[in-house]
A and B are shown apart, each in its own frame.
Chain A
Amino acid sequence: MTVDIASDLTEIEKDALAEIANLGVSRAANSLRQMLGEQVFLTVPNVQIVGRQAASDLIGRGSRSPRFVAVQQSFDGPFAGKALLIFPEEQSLELVRTIVGEQHSLEDVIDLEQEALAETGNVILNACLATIANLLRRTMNMSLPAVIRGSGEALFGETAGNDNLVLFLYINFRTKERDIHGFIALLMDLPSITALKTIVTDYIRVIESGADQPRP
């Protein structure tokens, strides 16, 4: 069942979250560009409050691949959640090869795959989350990256009976030359949504007052 109570977020809250995510992911795109050596195109962000099943459906719909590899990092602070860098599984080796260089043999690339994915995810997700944390003037702790594989459901930790509502923000990206594509997604559960709403409201109020300047 698709549960969509996005009306729980006001228009301006939704707009603010999308813009904040956009800033984070745009910065992260530059890190990805440097690692891949080619331009990265982004879509505009999508913000929804949905069940976990609907979140995995959204990822499934955005890709022809049924299986994914993802680098996941949990974050924790005034609000908590998971950040994921997601690729179709069949692109994983191509991605690693692009990052480590064409001169390596396939065996080397396979050996390096797990480590290279974790490191790539770490750089990209940190670039994204650090920008968001700085913007909102909050400190966030991040876990070490973990590489997970499986269907969309597996990525979002969905188990039977756990179709909890989550705040789901995602952006698609693809590279210019090699057509490597994937998603950067942020997932937060309901208590965090409430905390985040308060922080975003404060942030909007500061901007409206014109008295202060959001910190770069």
Chain B
Amino acid sequence: MSYNILIVDDSKLARMVVTSALRRIRPDWTITEATSGEEALTAVQKGGVQIALIDFNMPGMDGLALVAKLRQTDAHMPIAVVSANLQDEIIARARELNAAFVGKPLTDEALGAFLAGAALRLKKAPS
């Protein structure tokens, strides 16, 4: 089963890192990119996004504020907050919002584990 995954990061380099990891781990999945929280909301409203990987430290709306917004309309979409900022409060807030936390620099192993869990949840979810 192939899914459409949304990458949200203000840094082009960071999006390249995620894209290249995704091509290795899940080459058949499609990728949508957004450079800000606002762009991400628009992309999700258009429909078709099933999984989201969201950077924390972005200008304007930060990653956790974006997750909170997304959760108002979708309580179940698998979402990971991706950040090198490992502070307890940030990880705890991600958990509160029913989102995973994946550390930066990104490793294939950590991303792969999140994606495997996400695929499983989507398969089980009533469509």
Contacts and interface: CB of A to CB of B under 8 A. Distances in A.
Interface of A: 11-12, 15-16, 18-20, 22-24, 26-27, 29-30, 33, 39-40, 42, 44, 131, 134-135, 176, 204, 207-210, 213-216
A19 B17 CA distance: 11
A112 B86 CA distance: 29
Nearest to B27: A210
B20 A131 contact: no
B21 A33 contact: no
A26 B57 contact: yes
- The 10 A-B pairs at the shortest CB distance, nearest first, are namely A26-B84, A26-B85, A19-B11, A210-B20, A23-B84, A16-B13, A39-B89, A30-B86, A19-B13, A33-B87
A70 B105 CA distance: 28
Given A22-B57, A23-B104, A207-B17, A29 B11 contact: no
**Interface size classification for chain B:** 20 to 34
B14 interface: yes
A214 B105 contact: yes
Interface of B: 10-14, 16-17, 20-21, 23-24, 56-59, 83-90, 103-108
B12 to A, nearest CB: 5
Contact of B12 (A15, A29, A210): A15
Contacts of B108: 213
B86 A204 contact: no
Nearest to B20: A210
